[in-house]
Structure 1
Amino acid sequence: MNPTHLVTQTARKTLEIEARALEKLAESIGTEFARCVEVIHESSGRIIVTGIGKTAIVAQKIVATLNSTGSPAFFLHAGDAIHGDIGMIQPDDFVLMISRSGETAEIKVLALLVHNMGNPLIAMTSRRDSSLARQADYLLYTPFEREADPNELAPTTSTTLQMAMGDALATSLLALRGFTPADFARFHPGGSLGKQLYLRVKDLYPQNQKPQVYPDTSLPETLLEMTNKCLGATAVVDRASGQLCGIVTDGDLRRLLNRRQDLTGITAADLMSPTPRTVRASTLAVRAVGILETFSISQLIVVDEQDSYLGFVHLHDFMREGLV
């Protein structure tokens, strides 16, 4: 068989098998799942997620998703748990054990220990008749037919179902808790997603210089201000009130030079564009990026609620924060 054909055929078959399994998983969600989510939501304890081998890796991912969506969770390796680490489980904690068969030796021992400790036990397994399922207080059933690899041996479909069930658990808890974008930002302050939800123009513009001239400022002085402040533009501000009158950019200078030879007596008022694009200091940074993109410009003048001039925010500021 042609290698390219073999690869594409195998890949497509893998995805088709897993897609069908996910459809069956979705169909299986009902009151059994809902009750499990509800009791976790009503509890003040944490969710301890445990597994062994590949399911331990799945457990770590589920813990990360739970924590990032507001549900306190910890990972506990099943092998380590039965050799001392079970002490991390506190009285109010739920223990979620992941095992496709529900018959893994370490899982069976750990399930018995958790049962004796009195903690609520949640089983995530593909066998309702397994030892794990029988000992569990709640069941997250992952209906399973076959693994997706050609030999039907490697954990593929089973781990896909486990990951998806973990996502379903986390998002259901998120919905019950009324978890908002602002809450998400609190847990992701360093990432670009979080920055889209909390970073504002006022957090960026103070680091830039603040070029400004007055309507009667001469052309040489205007050029000097633009050059010294390194932004390629300057605001034109009313001398008495501090209100923004306009903007002078490099483009304004080029257009002036194209239409006039004699520059004697030229002032900032003769050069400026009287309706510059502005943004409030309180505006989310991601919205300011949208304004730049809409009008194909590289900077915005920042103003307060009374339209008083505060400074400039530049495309480079947003690039530095990973928003562009």
Structure 2
Amino acid sequence: MEDVAIQSYARDIIRIEAKAIANLESLIDKSFSDAVHAIFQSKGRVILTGIGKSAIIASKIVATLNSTGTPAIFMHAADAIHGDLGTILEDDIVICISKSGNTPEIKVLAPLIKNFKNTLIAITGNKESFLGQQADFVLNSFVEKEACPNNLAPTTSTTAQLVMGDALAVCLLKLRGFSSDDFAKFHPGGALGKTLYLRVSNITSQNMKPQVTLNTPLKDVIVEISKNMLGVTAVLDQDKVVGIITDGDLRRMLSSTEDFTKLKAEDIMSRNPKTISNSAMAIDALELLEKNDITQLIALDSGKYAGVVHLHNLVKEGII
């Protein structure tokens, strides 16, 4: 196939799947909302199960539920009928995922779950299937055809299952009032986690705290900037920050002044520096730096000098 033909074919596949996903909107009904309420009110966990590609989708939905405040675990349907049914506890709700709803493992598993008197939710493309008839609630994930040209390989159907699982998880998130702070508790690692929990104080507490007074001689200002390795120093008048001197200010001063031996901090500082609260989120510091096209911010704690946040700190932390 030529490149143009491949690209055209790929667009056709995307259109097929997009159409199927758009159609799911019309399949959301009272059974869906009843399932959401049942999970929300449950004292147990959500057990997701399936076979083949549906099992892989079930695993992903488990991850989404756990990260958004709904305890969930995965149980493979084949393993369930060979001993893993002990995974299911009295108050647990079971979600079984199957396109046809008629696979042999599902036909064995569904009645067993019902015998345990656990609530059974089906995500299936066939409401009239064995699974659909056994389930207390059915989330209809019907698709007209797979993106596979032979209409065999699970493609569109698994995408629909995944989207239905996302809809379920996010509705539960909404009911729980799950906030970004809650989300951060479950995502402490990596760049994503840091954008949610890392505060300016976590950075300033690790940095040096360069500072001079209004009357500090220029030589001592240079020493203070150099030894603290942040390319900046705050200028204080008693406990109040009244200015900032950066290495850029020093370069501009040297290029425009012939005699700088008598200069003091007050003579070269930039007044009214950009500041941020020491309790603010680090991601807010990044936004302020980018907005003002600067590389350092003065951090304040109840109006008092708390330290410096440098753009390099945010790069090191993986915020950028």
TM range (shorter): over 0.9
1:6 Cα deviation from its structure 2 partner: 2.8
1:12 paired residue number: 11
- 1:144-168 CA deviation, whole Å, 9 max, x = no partner? 2211111111100110110011011
- 1:69-119 CA deviation, whole Å, 9 max, x = no partner? 111110001111111111010000011111111111111111121111111
1:210 Cα deviation from its structure 2 partner: 1.2
Alpha-carbon RMSD across the aligned residues, in angstroms, is 1.3
1:204 Cα deviation from its structure 2 partner: 0.8
Cα distance in 2 for partners of 1:144, 1:218 equals 76
1:62 Cα deviation from its structure 2 partner: 0.5
1:319 equivalenced with 2:315 (yes/no): yes
2:67 paired residue number: 68
Cα distance in 1 for partners of 2:15, 2:141 equals 17
Alignment of 1:1-324 (within 5 A): 2-238=1-237, 241-306=238-303, 308-324=304-320
Partner SS state of residue 205, structure 2: helix
Cα distance in 2 for partners of 1:264, 1:171 equals 65
- 1:259-305 CA deviation, whole Å, 9 max, x = no partner? 22112221111121122111110111111111111111111111122
Cα distance in 1 for partners of 2:105, 2:61 equals 20
Cα distance in 2 for partners of 1:85, 1:52 equals 14
Q: What TM-score do you get using the length of structure 1 for normalisation? A: 0.95
Partner SS state of residue 109, structure 1: helix
1:227 Cα deviation from its structure 2 partner: 1.1
1:41 Cα deviation from its structure 2 partner: 1.1
Counterpart AA for 1:305: S
Cα distance in 1 for partners of 2:190, 2:143 equals 36
Which stretch shifts more, 28-37 or 182-191?
182-191
Q: What TM-score do you get using the length of structure 2 for normalisation? A: 0.96
Cα distance in 2 for partners of 1:298, 1:33 equals 50
- 1:224-254 CA deviation, whole Å, 9 max, x = no partner? 111111111111122xx32212111112212
Cα distance in 2 for partners of 1:159, 1:24 equals 14
- 1:205-238 CA deviation, whole Å, 9 max, x = no partner? 1111111111111111111111111111111122
Counterpart AA for 2:14: L
Counterpart AA for 2:39: I
Tell me the percent identity.
52
**How many residues are paired up?**
320
Q: Which runs of 5+ in 2 are unaligned?
A: none
